[in-house]
Amino acid sequence: MNYQWYPGHMTKAKRQMQEDIRLIDLVIELVDARIPQSSRNPDIDNLGKNKARLILLNKADLADEKLNRLWMEEFKGKGFHVLEVNSKSGQGLKAIQGIVREACKEKIARDRSRGIINRPIRAMVVGIPNVGKSTFINSFAGKACTKTGNKPGVTKGKQWIRLNKDLELLDTPGILWPKFEDQVVGLRLAMIGSIRDEIIDSSELALKMIGFLNKDYPLALNKRYDIMEFSDNHEALKMICLNRRCFLKGEELDLNRAAGIVIDDFRNGRLGRITIDRMDCRSEV
Ligand code: G4P
């Protein structure tokens, strides 16, 4: 996880995407179900206009089930096709084929009216780093697919993964950048582990997580660390430190180690299924 984004990278990635997007019918946009809004790229709606759109709430297994449903409704209300998936286990991927046909029905009808039958739908996967694009492509395409293009005798060009007679996927995903400049978004990306840890001090990050959990998932800390009734986030971290027996030499508390434990537990779902983004996304974490 060592993504560094400079204006040059972003301009190049955007140009590449503008080129690739011309070749496709459908944009499959992956978002992280724990932060469905903060893991979106602000330019994607513009880049993907005039294309069929499918949003996948990926890592749905780590996110709050109730909020997964609410976010699906939210995106549907904005005119997107939406599914919740777990690309790692493959859960939810079976439903994609049907929804792709639904999302592309206008294109299919247009082809038909021009006498073009059975032209496969061409799709591309896009999303910010670490959202699960490669995992998704590998699980979805599986082993059954065949690659097309760049073979002797075939015009040199893009590599397409042929999933079946109806659907082809561009084999390299489009990388988008998140809305770094927004501090709330930056913090949420750090919480799920999507940007480099050096960006925020680990104790500070753990304290933010504790504050957020205490507000939105009040039982989570008690359940995992057996703590309750603390006056502030700092005291809670101290209690976790004691509970986990994180000591430096002697009896001195190793708060950094305790912070690392909280961060790791939070990101790996050991504190339960958690969604940080709410529909009214501006609330502070
Ligand atoms: P990217 O191409 O968009 O950059 O993301 P990538 O597929 O590399 O996935 C980033 C991390 O997210 C990987 O974990 C991957 O296993 C995990 N992941 C992807 N989809 C899901 C999902 O639906 N649920 C869960 N729980 N995890 C998912 P990693 O820690 O980098 O690797 P590993 O521990 O899996 O080996």
Q: Tell me how far apart the alpha carbons of residues 232 and 204 are, in angstroms, rounded to a whole number.
A: 13
Ligand 1: nearest atom to the Cα of 62: 26
Strand residue runs (E) in 191-271: none
Q: pLDDT, tens digit, for every residue of 135-189?
A: 999 999 875 455 554 444 444 567 899 998 899 999 889 988 888 788 899 999 9
pLDDT number for residue 150: 47
Ligand 1: nearest atom to the Cα of 269: 26
Distance from residue 37's CA to the centre of ligand 1 (Å): 19
Cα–Cα distances in angstroms (integers) from residue 173 to residues 93, 169, 264, in the given order: 17, 9, 28
β-bridge mates for residue 127, sequence order: 175
Q: Tell me how far apart the alpha carbons of residues 280 and 71 are, in angstroms, rounded to a whole number.
A: 11
- Its pTM stands at 0.91
Sites in the chain below the pLDDT cut of 70: 1-5, 143-157, 281-285
Distance from residue 175's CA to the centre of ligand 1 (Å): 15
Q: Are 213 and 230 in contact (CB under 8 A)?
A: no
CB burial string 62-99: b at 16+ within 10 A, e below:
bbbeebbeebbebbeeeebbbbbbbbeeeebbeebeee
